[in-house]
Amino acid sequence: MSERTVGILGGGQLGRMLALAGTPLGIRFRFFDPSPDACARDVGALTVGTWDDANALCRFVHGCDAVTFEFENVPASSLDALESIVRVQPSRLALATSSDRIREKRFFQSCGLAVQPFAEVGSAAELDIAVATVGVPGILKTRTLGYDGKGQRIVRDARAAQSAWESIGAVPCIYEALVPFDREVSIVAARTVVEGAAQFDAYPLGENVHRDGILHTTITPARVSDALALQARDAARTVAEQLNYVGVFAIEFFVADGILIVNEMAPRVHNSGHWTIEGAVTSQFENHIRAVCGLPLGSCAPKLPWNAMVNIVGCVPSPEKILADPACKLHLYGKAARAGRKTGHINVSAQSERALIESLAQAEQALAHSSC
Ligand code: AMP
């Protein structure tokens, strides 16, 4: 393969892991991020700039063969400028659809997928109508820029709705029914187009446990019926085709009463796919880089039947404790510890569910011993 350069908008851990996976393919990486401390700077050149500085972005992509994202909220005006210079994937359509929770929910409905009851909130009067229509308990979320549970408030009593809205800035929101789910699952999938022919593949469905709105563990395969897992894969294929998607993406679902309800999608590599680094034949990071470079996908099959990931949040453990268990693979992102900040993760793989649960428990214990 001739040498390529990929530009990544965002220099966090996702960008870092994309570069670590793509470098063996002979690809060079560069990053654009507002922070001079962005952790991807360890694995490629970092340009520091603001997202609304279209000139700086254009200089950054000059000489790139492809550009992709690990941060989705780049203003449309900056994207316009970039797209006239270089191939940018995933597409504008995918970004615009997934960055607005109302637009995203309507898109899922147009794909024939089940979503929780929801209503748009743009004013105090609309909030009253939304709460009356959807009912309580519900959850109020900012339409844009929310992540890891930020910009969200649960509303258990209609009388508390207005103050909940004010506490998140009275900005445009979505009000959703609170789903009494049995479990949360996500599918990480990839689509590429090579010489006009599309190729789609998906990793086994992952089962996710959150703590304080932040992903804590992913176990795959999710403990759901084969039929439900297939339904999630079909949903991902439909979404990818409708968006003419190129790259890796994830869709998060609730499982309630045996039914899949779509919560949201992420137009990028996803935390619930980190296990694929050692656990799959081709990691989500490598497949994303392959796709944005117009290359064929590698297999998404797991190497061992059971895989898991546990996030490291708010601390940086000493490697000795974690690595004492030979089943644990440690990934630290080179980030300083801060409350609620993801600083790394641990992957484990096993032949059986039981062995996996044991390894996962050991990983959590090792984290606890490191005061994590
Ligand atoms: P989100 O930012 O939409 O991914 O929400 C973060 C987490 O909050 C989800 O993974 C769920 O654990 C919880 N959550 C969000 N929306 C709902 C909902 N409508 N019903 C129940 N739990 C929710």
Confirm if 267 and 70 have CB atoms less than 8 A apart.
no
What is the C-alpha end-to-end distance of the chain, expressed in Å?
43
Q: How far is CA 192 from CA 14, 296, 298, in A?
A: 19, 7, 11
For residues 292 and 227, what is the distance between their CA atoms, to the nearest angstrom? 31
> Which part of the chain has CATH 3.40.50.20?
4-88
Mean pLDDT of the chain: 95
Cα-based distances in Å from 14 to 1, 39, 71, 76, 363: 24, 9, 9, 22, 22
Confidence check: pLDDT of 283 > 70: yes
Rounded CA separation 127/322 (Å): 48
Distance in angstroms (rounded) separating the CA atoms of residues 230 and 73 = 31
- pLDDT tens digits, 252-280: 999 999 999 999 999 999 999 999 999 99
Q: How does pLDDT run across 29-65, given as a tens digit for each residue?
A: 999 999 999 999 999 999 999 999 999 999 999 999 9
| Per-residue pLDDT band at 371 (split at 50, 70, 90) | confident
Q: 3.40.50.20, 3.10.520.10, 3.40.50.300, 3.40.50.720: which CATH number matches 4-88?
A: 3.40.50.20
Query: Is residue 184 lining ligand 1, measured as CB closer than 6 Å?
Result: yes
Q: What confidence tens digit (pLDDT) does each residue in 115-149 have?
A: 999 999 999 999 999 999 999 999 999 999 877 67
* Start and end residues for every CATH 3.30.1490.20 domain found in the chain: 117-177
Q: Kind of pairing, strands 247-256 and 259-266?
A: antiparallel
The CATH architecture of the domain made up of 117-177 is 2-Layer Sandwich (3.30)
Residue nearest to atom 17 of ligand 1 (CA): 178
Residue 38: the pLDDT is 98
Instruction: Provide φ and ψ at 60, rounded to 5°.
Output: -60, -45
Q: For 17-36, how does the pLDDT look when each residue is reduced to its tens digit (9 = 90+)?
A: 999 999 999 999 999 999 99
d(CA 55, CA 77): 11
Q: Is the CB of 117 under 6 A from ligand 1?
A: no
Look up residue 190 and give its amino acid.
A
- For residue 239, pLDDT over 60 is answered with yes
**pTM for the whole thing?**
0.96
Q: What percent of the chain has pLDDT over 70?
A: 99
When pLDDT is cut at 50, 70 and 90, the band that residue 1 belongs to is: very low
5: DSSP letter: E
**CATH 3.30.470.20 residue spans of the chain:** 183-369
- Check pLDDT > 70 for residue 361: yes
User: What residue owns the CA closest to ligand 1's atom 5?
Assistant: 149
| 138-142 and 152-155 beta bridge pairing | antiparallel
Read off φ and ψ for residue 51, nearest 5 degrees: -65, -20
pLDDT (0 to 100) of residue 148: 67
Distance 179 CA to ligand 1 centre (A): 8
pLDDT of residue 238: 98
The CA-atom distances, in angstroms, between 306 and each of 27, 39, 204, 251, 363 are: 31, 30, 10, 20, 15
| CB distance 34 to ligand 1 below 6 Å | no
Domain 183-369 annotated CATH 3.30.460.10 = no
Structure confidence at residue 80 (pLDDT): 83
For ligand 1, mutation pick of 116, 139, 185 (most atoms within 8 Å of CB): 139
